[in-house]
Amino acid sequence: MDLGLQDKKVVILGGSRGIGRYAAEAFIDEGAHIAFCARGAEGVASAEKEMSGRSHAVRVFGQAVDLEDGDATRGFIRSAEEALGGIDVLIHNASGFGMANNEQDWRRSFEVDIMAGVRAVDEALSALQASGAGSIVFIGSMASKFHFGRPESPYGAAKAAIRAYANELAQNYGRDGIRANVISPGAVWFPGGRWDERKKASPEFYAQVEKGIPLGRLGTGEELARIIVFTASPAGLWLNATHLAADGGQVATVD
Ligand SMILES: NC(=O)c1ccc[n+]([C@@H]2O[C@H](COP(=O)([O-])OP(=O)(O)OC[C@H]3O[C@@H](n4cnc5c(N)ncnc54)[C@H](OP(=O)(O)O)[C@@H]3O)[C@@H](O)[C@H]2O)c1
């Protein structure tokens, strides 16, 4: 199947490592040009170099940006549009991972999970309208619909807010050819990631989580990337205003 991503211009908020990086590489393999940001300048520089080496046919642009900084976020979107010559796809992947019920974590979650997405959409809107294949994907979490037994925190609440916002974008900008969807991963393992750390810290807990997933293991970065790339691509056109649970059946509900 041709996903229709050849020469499409993709912007990823949080793309130097983890799920965002796997997605960036999968987009590159489909012939798409990539602009991404992350806080760590070293991580951005090495990711930019490695991804540029993956295909000489595409442009890869990386910038060190903290998405808690509104002006920097808007500036990144403008630089990305200039570097790529437009924007067809916007992926908001980064999270503040606010797991503590305190002011600092609530504020960081609000800025990174919600406001960075709002600012990026606002700044990218005219380019997405001009695209003809405009597509916005937010990376959510199953914590937006399921209580995993943790103490209350901003994480799931911020991810849930994005679901309502994505639906409003889909309803308001569909006429401009722009789609908006949310993909919520369950537990995803990749080297150096959060679940890799948990596996090392507590193999018993990790094994228990694996046992609770019908497929008997956690998802991988590559598996999530394929779902993100398909949803964002012109081939995924009839996915719109959707919340996609990409959790391998980890959360045992009907919808
Ligand atoms: N991994 C899982 O099991 C899982 C499960 C459910 C949902 N998710 C969701 O999937 C998304 C990606 O998760 P992940 O596990 O791949 O995360 P990750 O490994 O921590 O990677 C996050 C990426 O975003 C960048 N980033 C983080 N905070 C940023 C900020 N304030 N400004 C700019 N860039 C920032 C990071 O680089 P720097 O640190 O250098 O900034 C990195 O490139 C998140 O939205 C998360 O909630 C993940």
What pLDDT digit, counting tens, does each position of 69-125 carry? 999 999 999 999 999 999 999 999 999 999 999 999 999 999 999 999 999 999 999
Ligand 1 centroid to residue 167 C-alpha, Å = 22
The minimum-distance atom of ligand 1 relative to the CA of 94 is: 24
- Is the predicted pLDDT of residue 62 greater than 90, yes or no? yes
Percent of the chain with pLDDT over 70: 100
Ligand 1 centroid to residue 245 C-alpha, Å = 18
- Mean pLDDT computed over every residue of the chain: 98
The minimum-distance atom of ligand 1 relative to the CA of 19 is: 16
Give dist(CA 118, CA 124) in Å, integer: 10
Q: What is the pLDDT of residue 71?
A: 98
Q: What is the pLDDT of residue 255?
A: 84
Which 3 state secondary structure label does DSSP give 64? strand
What's CA 196's distance to the chain center, in Å?
Answer: 19
Contact 235, 2 (CB under 8 A): yes
State which of 12, 19, 21 you would mutate to test the pocket of ligand 1, scoring each by most atoms of that ligand within 8 A of its C-beta: 19
Nearest CA to ligand 1 atom 48: 185
Q: Which stretches within the chain are classed as H helix?
A: 18-29, 41-54, 70-84, 103-109, 116-131, 154-173, 194-201, 203-211, 221-232
**Ligand 1: residues within 6 Å at CB?**
14-20, 37-40, 43, 65-68, 93-95, 112, 139, 141, 185, 187-188, 193-195
List pLDDT tens digits, range 201-253: 999 999 999 999 999 999 999 999 999 999 999 999 999 999 999 999 999 99
Tell which CATH architecture fits domain 9-190+220-246: 3-Layer(aba) Sandwich (3.40)
